[in-house]
C-alpha cells in the first residue's frame, strides 16, 4: 500500500500531476514550527461597518487578507492542525463566528482569490433550510443549510458548531452540544468535529460535554497565539479577535523627546481598537515597537519610544499603527 503523502493536504492537487512533484512536495514541507500560530476570529464583513466593532469592512478585509498573504501566511484548518503532520512554514487559522450570510457574499470571494480557507461556526438554531426562510442572529442575516452545503462543496469554507441557541448558560450549551452535531450531519451529510464556545467562555463542565459529544477541537477567545503539539489544550484554542468598525487613524510626525527617545501623538477618530505602534526608520527599515495600554480611540494618545540609537534622525522616522499582534497595518 502506498503511504500517504504527508504534504498532500497543503498542495493543490494539480501540482501532484506535474513532473517533479515529489521534489516540490519536499520543498513545501516543513517541520511543525515551534512558533505559536495565530488563530483569527472574525464575525461579520460588510461594505460599511459603521460603529459595529464586530463588522470588518469589505475593503479592510481584502487588505488584511492581502497583507497576510504577502507576509507568507498560509491557512490551515483546526482539524488539520489537530491531525498533526506537515504544516506550512507560516500557518494561520481564520475563523468566523455565528454563520452569517456575509461569509458567503463578502468573505468567500476574497478568501478564494487568495487561495485561503477558513472555518465557519454555525449556530444551528439560526440556520433555516432555504434562503427564503432566512433567520437573523441579532441584526445579522444567517446562512441557510442550502448555502452551507454549497459553500462546503466549493471548499473555501468548512463548518463547525457554535451551539444551537448561542445561550449564555453553560449548562444549556452542554446539553445542546451532541444534538448540534446530529443536526449538522442530518443537514449536510458531514461530520462536525470542531466546536466554538459562544462568548468564548469554556468552564470545565462545558469542555467535558463538548469532548463527550465527540468534538476534537474547540475555540475560546483569548488574545494570544496557539501552540499546538504535546500539552496543547485542543478544547481551549485561543483566538485573536479582529475588531472592526470604521476607523480613522492619524499620527503627528515623530519628534525627539529626550536622549534616545522619540514621541508622537496618535489618534483614531473611529471605533476604539487595540493596536500596536511601530516607529520605522525609512532609511534603514529598522523598526521599534510600542504597545499602548488599552484601545486607541478619539482621545489623542502620546506614544513614546525610548532606548533608541542616539544617531536616529527624527526626520526619517515614521509612525505606523498595526493590528494588536502586528499581523497587518492599519496606518498609514
Ligand atoms: Zn457567537
- What's the CATH number where 109 sits? 3.20.20.370
Average of per-residue pLDDT across 124-143: 97
Per residue in 150-182, pLDDT (tens digit) is: 999 999 999 999 999 999 999 999 999 999 999
pLDDT for residue 35: 73
Same domain, 228 and 259: no
How many angstroms separate the alpha carbon of residue 18 from the centre of ligand 1?
Answer: 43
pLDDT at 295: 95
Mean pLDDT of the chain: 89
Cis peptide upstream of residue 332 (ω within 30 degrees of 0): yes
Q: Predicted confidence band at 19 (pLDDT cuts at 50, 70, 90)?
A: very low
Please write the tens of the pLDDT for every residue from 41-88.
999 999 999 999 999 999 999 999 999 999 999 999 999 999 988 899
**Does residue 173 sit in the same domain as residue 267?**
no
Q: In this model, does residue 232 exceed pLDDT 50?
A: yes
- 23 band by pLDDT with thresholds 50, 70 and 90: very low
Does 264 share its domain with 187? no
Distance 124 CA to ligand 1 centre (A): 12
pLDDT at 3 over 80: no
- Residue where a domain stops, chosen among 215, 241, 267: 241
137 CA distance to ligand 1 middle (Å): 9
What pLDDT does residue 231 have? 86
Distance of CA 82 from the midpoint of ligand 1 (Å): 22
Residue 11 forms part of a structural domain: no
Specify whether 231 is located in the same domain as 87. yes
- Cα 72–chain centre separation: 15
Q: Which domain holds residue 232?
A: 22-241
5 within some domain: no
What separation in Å is there between the alpha carbon of 66 and the centre of ligand 1? 26
User: Contact, 52 vs 64, CB < 8 A?
Assistant: no
241, 262, 285 - which closes a domain? 241
> Does residue 154 lie in a domain region?
yes
Cα(288)–Cα(169) distance, integer angstroms = 44
Under 8 Å between Cβ of 124 and 144: no
| Ligand 1 centroid – CA 197 distance (Å) | 8
Does residue 222 fall inside a structural domain? Answer: yes
Q: Are residues 103 and 137 in the same domain?
A: yes
Same domain, 214 and 304: no
Measured in angstroms, how far is the CA atom of residue 278 from the centroid of ligand 1? 32
Burial of 1 from C-beta contacts in 10 A (0-12 / 13-18 / 19+):
exposed
Does any domain span residue 13? no
* 3-state secondary structure at position 161: strand
Cα-based torsion angle of the residue sequence 289, 292, 294, 296 in order, rounded to the nearest 10 degrees: -90
**307 and 185 in a common domain:** no
pLDDT bracket for residue 33 (50, 70, 90): very low
CA of residue 289 to ligand 1 center, whole Å: 32
Do 261 and 201 share a structural domain? no
Decide if 8 is inside a domain: no
Residues 63 and 149 in one domain: yes
Tell how far the Cα of 97 is from the centroid of ligand 1, in angstroms: 5
pLDDT of 28 above 50:
no
Model confidence, pTM: 0.87
Report the separation in Å between the CA atom of 326 and the middle of ligand 1, taken as the mean of its atom positions: 25
Q: Ligand 1 centre and the CA of 196: distance in Å?
A: 8
Residue 13: pLDDT band (50, 70, 90) is very low
Instruction: Give the pLDDT score at 311.
Output: 81
Total domains present in the chain = 2
Question: CA angle, 61 as apex, 57 and 67 as ends, to 5°?
Answer: 145
**Residues 37 and 108 placed together within one structural domain of the fold:** yes
Residue 215 Cα to ligand 1 middle (Å): 18
| Cα 258 versus chain centre, distance | 39
> Is residue 9 predicted with pLDDT exceeding 90?
no
The Cα–Cα gap between 192 and 29 comes to: 27
What confidence tens digit (pLDDT) does each residue in 92-122 have?
999 999 999 999 999 999 999 999 999 999 9
The domain boundary, picked from 223, 241, 259, lies at 241
Q: Is residue 74 part of a domain?
A: yes
Give the Cα separation of 62 and 245 in Å (integer): 15
Q: Give dist(CA 271, CA 171) in Å, integer.
A: 34
Same domain, yes or no: 85 and 154: yes
Considering the domain architecture, whether residues 221 and 276 belong to the same structural domain is answered as no
Q: Is residue 108 part of a domain?
A: yes
Amino acid at each position: 500500500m502506498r503511504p500517504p503523502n504527508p504534504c498532500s493536504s497543503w498542495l493543490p492537487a494539480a501540482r501532484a500531476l506535474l513532473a517533479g512533484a515529489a521534489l516540490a512536495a519536499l520543498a513545501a514541507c516543513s517541520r511543525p514550527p515551534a512558533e505559536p500560530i495565530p488563530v483569527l476570529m472574525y464575525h461579520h464583513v460588510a461594505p460599511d461597518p459603521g460603529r459595529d466593532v464586530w463588522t470588518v469592512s469589505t475593503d479592510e478585509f481584502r487588505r488584511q487578507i492581502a497583507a497576510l498573504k504577502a507576509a507568507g501566511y498560509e491557512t490551515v484548518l483546526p482539524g488539520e492542525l489537530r491531525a498533526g503532520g506537515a504544516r506550512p512554514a507560516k500557518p494561520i487559522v481564520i475563523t468566523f463566528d455565528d454563520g452569517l450570510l456575509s461569509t458567503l457574499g463578502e468573505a468567500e470571494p476574497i478568501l478564494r482569490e487568495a487561495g485561503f480557507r477558513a472555518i465557519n461556526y454555525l449556530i444551528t438554531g439560526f440556520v433555516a433550510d432555504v434562503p427564503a426562510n432566512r433567520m437573523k442572529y441579532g441584526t445579522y442575516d444567517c446562512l441557510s443549510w442550502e448555502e452551507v452545503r454549497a459553500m462546503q462543496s466549493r471548499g473555501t469554507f468548512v463548518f463547525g458548531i457554535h451551539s444551537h441557541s448561542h445561550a449564555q448558560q453553560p449548562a444549556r450549551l452542554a446539553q445542546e452540544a451532541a444534538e448540534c452535531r446530529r443536526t449538522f450531519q442530518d443537514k449536510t451529510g458531514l461530520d462536525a468535529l470542531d466546536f466554538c464556545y459562544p462568548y468564548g467562555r469554556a468552564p470545565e463542565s462545558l469542555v467535558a460535554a463538548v469532548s463527550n459529544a465527540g468534538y476534537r477541537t474547540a475555540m475560546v477567545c483569548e488574545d494570544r497565539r496557539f501552540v499546538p503539539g504535546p500539552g496543547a489544550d485542543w478544547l481551549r484554542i485561543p483566538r485573536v479577535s479582529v475588531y472592526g468598525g470604521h476607523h480613522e487613524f492619524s499620527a503627528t510626525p515623530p519628534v525627539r523627546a529626550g536622549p534616545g527617545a522619540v514621541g508622537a501623538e496618535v489618534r483614531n477618530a473611529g471605533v476604539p481598537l487595540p493596536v500596536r505602534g511601530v516607529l520605522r526608520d525609512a532609511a534603514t527599515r529598522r523598526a521599534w515597537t510600542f504597545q499602548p495600554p488599552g484601545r486607541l480611540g478619539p482621545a489623542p494618545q502620546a506614544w513614546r519610544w525610548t532606548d533608541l540609537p542616539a544617531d536616529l534622525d527624527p526626520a526619517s522616522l515614521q509612525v505606523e499603527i498595526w493590528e494588536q499582534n502586528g499581523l497587518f497595518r492599519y496606518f498609514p
